[in-house]
Amino acid sequence: MHEASIAFEIYTIVTDNVKAYKLKKVEAIYIKVGSFNGIFEDSLRFAFKAISKDSECEEATLIIEHTEGFELLVDRIEGQ
How do the domains of the chain map onto residue ranges? 3-79
Which tens digits make up the pLDDT trace of 14-60? 999 999 999 999 999 999 999 999 999 999 999 999 999 999 999 99
pTM above 0.85, yes or no: yes
Cβ-Cβ contacts under 8 Å for 31 (sequence gap 6 or more): 10, 62, 63, 64, 65, 72, 73, 74, 75
Q: Are strands 72-79 and 61-67 parallel, antiparallel or unpaired?
A: unpaired
E-strand stretches of the chain: 26-34, 61-67, 72-79
CATH class assigned to 3-79: alpha beta
Flag whether pLDDT at 1 surpasses 70. no
